Each structure stands twice: as structure tokens, then as C-alpha cells.
Amino acid sequence: MIKTKELNNFVAMNMTIRTGIKSDLPKVLELIQELATYEKAPHEVAVTIAEMERDGFGDNPIFKFFVAEAEGKIVGISLYYIKYSTWKGKCVFLEDIIVTESHRKYGIGKKLFDEVVKVAKEMKARRMEWQVLEWNEPAIKFYEKVNSHFDGEWVNCKLTENDIQSYFNK
């Protein structure tokens, strides 16, 4: 029987992080569905592979991503995009880190996070941001370990797709 530490070393040694490519998108969408199920909202995923192809690889790409591969399979992603702050300038927004359940606890999420931090550093971003659900204790503990600043001052706001479509009809 393989001990936990040996298994962690095995997975870490046989895992690579690389820039995502268009042919990765079907597996990326599977991971997104897995995350939505974990977050108790599987019905909320509306994005399609065609939309992701257009939005990530079209004339004006609006997101980028890294994939983690272990044993020849994609087991995790980190998806990010560039945003602009009127006060700070260039910022990186980390939309999600997703690691499939069977490969959590091996440091894959940290390696994916590190890659996005490298992007932010290389582009001289003044800030890197992300959100975490208040009940997601494993993620919160991870972010505490990497010296994150938790912001109790700002409130998240959004308009849904229906809100946007009906906005001027009110």
C-alpha cells in the first residue's frame, strides 16, 4: 500500500502545468460542471464549448487558462483575465481554480495559483483578485496560507443575464 506522502510525491512528480489550448475546452467544461455541483449550483452553468472557443481563442480573447495534467489527463485548471482598475491600472482577476475531487490535496491548486501569480508579476499588475464563497473552508484556508487579504469592505454586486436584457424596459 502506498503511503499518503509517497502518493503526494508521485502525483507531484507526474504532474505538469501548461497553458491551456482550444482542444482542452471539453475537459475544462467538465471541470466547471464539477465545480458547479460542488458549489450546489449545477443548473447555473450556461456557457458552451463554442462560447469558450470564441471568448478564449477568437479575435479578441477575454480569458486565458492553465491546465494541470497528471497521468496524461487534465485534472485541474486556473482561469483568469485582465481587468483594469481606475485607481491601480492593470490587475489580474482569477476567476476559478478547479481541481477534480480525486486529485485534491496534492498541491495542484497551489501550482495553478502560482502560475497566475507569475502572470501578474510578469505583466507588473498592481493587484490580483479573486472571490471565494464564505462556506468554502478548504479554499479559505489555502488563501490564508498564501497571505491573502480578505476584504470585508466591498460588497459584490451583479446583474443577471435576464436583468441585463430587461434593464431598459423598466
Residue 80 a catalytic site member: no
Rounded to whole angstroms, the Cα distance separating 163 from 161 reads: 5
Question: How many other β-carbons are positioned within 10 Å of the β-carbon of residue 148?
Answer: 14
Region of residue 131 (phi > 0: left; psi between -120 and 50: alpha; otherwise: beta): beta
Catalytic residue chosen out of the listed positions 81, 84, 106, 143: 143
CA–CA separation, 46 and 162 (whole Å): 13
User: Residue 82: enclosing H or E segment and its boundaries?
Assistant: strand 73-85
CA-CA-CA-CA torsion sign (8, 14, 19, 23): negative
Measured between alpha carbons, how far is residue 84 from residues 7, 95, 161 in Å? 41, 15, 22
| Residues catalogued as catalytic | 143
